[in-house]
A and B are shown apart, each in its own frame.
Chain A
Amino acid sequence: MLVHPNEASGIGSSALAVLEPDERNTMNAAVGNSIVLDNLWKTYGSFVAVGGVSLSIEAGKFCTILGPSGSGKTTVLMMLAGFSDPLRGSIRIDGNDVTRLPPQKRDLGVVFQNYALFPHMTVHDNVAFPLKMRGMNAAEINLKCSRMLDTVELGSLSRRYPRELSGGQQQRVALARALVFEPRVLLMDEPLGALDKRLRASLQVELKALQRRMDVTVVYVTHDQEEALTMADQVVIMNGGQIEQCGTADELYDQPMTEFVAGFMGDTNLIEGVVTGKGGDGVTRVEHPTGRAILAQNGPCAVGDQVSVSLRPECVSLEPCKGRLPEEPNAWNGRITNVVSLGDALRYTIVIGENRPTLQIELEAKISRRGAHGSRFSQGEAVRVHWNAADARALARRKR
């Protein structure tokens, strides 16, 4: 078992949990451990589940691994937890190579999607389990358990069995059990997946607060990009067993490096074209097959590349089209084919170049109700569509 720095220095680790983060830092107490994955591979027969994943997570950060099902994100987490052995590559936690260490020696908290609470134990016994396994005495176990259960606001339910709790309560028990032994790293596999939307939102906030308070490094696997946006310091997008892109949520949203990332982090319009010029002013010029010109910020592409231009629906502006204005770069004429109310906003579908059905462009625009200058377009109306070059991004298409 790894020895925590705080245990080695003789400071009661339980006392630290109740201190404010600032106090803990000034005491130079334990913070979450850094994690380094180096060229991890995992195959099942001929299927490559994870193909060369390298990733570095800073100590104390909340890292979300985001990807569709089958992208290898859970496999990465299982290798990190020690439940599955990588074919190649290494895993280092706090600088120590743990690649071949069994799970019980890694000292990580793990929360599964279905909570995996022990059904034959009470809430208290579930939370006490990791402490018992560490050979603590009964008094200490009881103290730590009740403190942890109070933290997740389940103190009054400690005598209940898991089946007598709601989904959200079970989730908290799983969290308490994974954190009670003060691991420096917490691994979570879609922990909120089975809960309803409102509960999920409130647990997201709690989880983030708990992570800050306990100063633990979190690796959180999900397919829900909203969860990634609300909680993560660092987002890793996986697809087909590889990392597509890694960065903060804003970076991924504003500067996606691939079509996949652009489409997975929020909604986007993708317009095909060929790069015809890259200016020193940071503007890339792209030509659509119909000859329409698109100006976009400089993205990962070169002149002559086949690209998809990513344009977020909320970056598209609409104006009433009075008369037939000539089309210009980033200012096209179109017709509204669909209007959907989203409550706070309206989503328009606009078709550009209706006279050439095979090459027509379909764009979505999301216009806030308040910002729409009171104007509202209806289906069939002719509109002028325009956007800023800085809001569009040309992404080289993957060579297949």
Chain B
Amino acid sequence: MSQSARNLACADIGRTESKAHAFRRFRMSSLWLLVPALGFLALFFAYPLTAIVLRSFEGADASMTLEHYEAFFSLPIYMRILWQTIEISLMTTVLCVLVGYPLAYVMANSSPMVRNVMLLMVMLPFMTSVLVRTYGWMVILRPTGLLNHVAELAGLPHFDLLYNRSGMLIGLVYTMVPYVVLTLFSVMRGIDGRLVSVAHSLGAGAWSAFWRVYFPLSLPGVAGASLLVFILSSGFYITPRLMGGDRDQLLASIIAYQVDVLLNFEFASAIAVILLVITLICFGIYARLVGLKQLLTSRT
């Protein structure tokens, strides 16, 4: 696995033979450059992860136990929240792809000028705090907010888009769309435009050329973007917490509740591990369907 990953990195950086060769030589003498990064990862990633996994198996008297997992899977409330998390993540994923695909398509197939402006617009939210953006949405969507104010003036019915599933989805989709657009954009840029031209010359209209040639070639991007959005939204905390209703709890909220209020670190760890396993399963499915190589390289 690590060997093939290294090969991938190699192949990606050194596209030509000579470059790859130079890179190999460079790597041998410069391994020590990795030490700070490895140290950082060990301290802030490997150690906490191991600690959480170990803690999730910890009983009251520091013995090994499965009681937290048993508790999770035996209580209907947690199972309901687990399915809810998966359901909402899936809905977010589908909505994000539906919104992001056309955006990425226009970006990848327009003039450099239009493309750069759109790229800036997509990147702009990244430069603002999630919290500020979430409160921004709340100001708009609140029962007495901007949207309802305008709706009232226009004689439209009252919109109920905050503190419920709609609100949660709006917040999640809004946050995740840029990831979808950027992932799809990089894959779409790698699609040879002449393939569509050729499809036309072979008799395909705009619709068939898109569905039979362009869309299948963009699928690795769709899969990669979906994976990213699903994983990110299944563990997302602040936006769903603020914009969602009390009935739509996500696993992340439960973890926070266990840590913040009940100080039950062991149970919180168990839920975190369950979330991690779901993520790994998604990766596994993706690797089987598309191959991880597609995720690491932007080219099709």
Q: Which of B192, B194, B195, B202 is A130 in contact with, Cβ under 8 Å?
A: B202
A119 to B212, CA, bound (A): 12
Report B169-198 CB contacts with A as 1/0, cut-off 8 Å. 000000000000000000000001011011
Residues of chain A in range 1-60 having any CB-CB distance to chain B below 8 Å: 1
B217 near A104 with CB under 8 A, answer no
B217 near A103 with CB under 8 A, answer no
- Given A119-B217, A119-B300, check contact A104 B195 (CB 8 Å): no
A133 to B213, CA, bound (A): 12
Q: Which residues of A contact B203 (CB under 8 A)?
A: 1, 104, 107, 130, 133-134, 181
B224 to chain A, nearest CB (A): 16
Q: Which residue of A lies closest to B213 (CB)?
A: A118
Q: Which residues of B contact A104 (CB under 8 A)?
A: 200-205
B221 to chain A, nearest CB (A): 13
B199 in contact (CB, < 8 A): yes
Q: Which residues of B contact A112 (CB under 8 A)?
A: 194, 198
Q: Which residues of B contact A130 (CB under 8 A)?
A: 202-203
A283 in contact (CB, < 8 A): no
A109 to B198, CA, bound (A): 9
A367 to B54, CA, bound (A): 87
B300 to chain A, nearest CB (A): 7
A242 to B212, CA, bound (A): 38
- Given A112-B194, A114-B194, A133-B208, check contact A120 B216 (CB 8 Å): yes
A108 near B217 with CB under 8 A, answer no
A184 to B176, CA, bound (A): 51
Q: Which residues of B contact A116 (CB under 8 A)?
A: 192, 194-195, 197-198
Q: Which residue of A lies closest to B212 (CB)?
A: A129
- Total interface residues on B, using CB and 8 Å? 18
Q: Which residues of A contact B194 (CB under 8 A)?
A: 112, 114, 116
Q: Which residues of A contact B197 (CB under 8 A)?
A: 81, 83, 103, 110, 116
A181 to B202, CA, bound (A): 8
Q: Which of B198, B213, B216, B217 is A110 in contact with, Cβ under 8 Å?
A: B198
Q: Which residues of B contact A133 (CB under 8 A)?
A: 202-204, 208
Q: Which residues of B contact A334 (CB under 8 A)?
A: none
A243 to B186, CA, bound (A): 40
Q: Which residues of A contact B216 (CB under 8 A)?
A: 120
A104 to B204, CA, bound (A): 6
A116 to B199, CA, bound (A): 9
Listed residue (A82, A104, A177, A181) with the most chain B CB atoms within 10 angstroms of its CB: A104
Q: Which residue of A lies closest to B194 (CB)?
A: A116
B202 near A129 with CB under 8 A, answer yes
A76 to B192, CA, bound (A): 21
A177 to B204, CA, bound (A): 13
A102 in contact (CB, < 8 A): yes
Q: Which residues of B contact A114 (CB under 8 A)?
A: 192, 194
Listed residue (B198, B202, B205) with the most chain A CB atoms within 10 angstroms of its CB: B202
A319 to chain B, nearest CB (A): 51
A296 to B217, CA, bound (A): 60
Residues of chain B in range 40-92 having any CB-CB distance to chain A below 8 Å: none
B208 to chain A, nearest CB (A): 6
A292 in contact (CB, < 8 A): no
Residues of chain A in range 94-148 having any CB-CB distance to chain B below 8 Å: 102-104, 106-110, 112, 114, 116, 118-120, 129-130, 133-134
A110 to B192, CA, bound (A): 16
A108 near B195 with CB under 8 A, answer no
A333 to B192, CA, bound (A): 58
27 cross-chain CB contacts under 8 A: A82-B200, A83-B201, A103-B200, A103-B201, A104-B200, A104-B202, A104-B203, A104-B204, A107-B203, A114-B194, A116-B197, A116-B198, A118-B195, A119-B195, A119-B217, A119-B300, A120-B216, A129-B199, A129-B202, A129-B204, A129-B212, A130-B202, A130-B203, A133-B204, A134-B203, A178-B202, A181-B203
Name the 4 nearest CB pairs between A and B, nearest first.
A133-B203, A130-B202, A110-B201, A103-B200
Q: A82-B200, A114-B194, A130-B203 are in contact. List 14 more A-B contacts (CB 8 A).
A: A83-B200, A104-B204, A107-B203, A110-B197, A110-B198, A112-B194, A114-B192, A116-B194, A116-B195, A116-B197, A116-B198, A129-B199, A129-B204, A133-B202
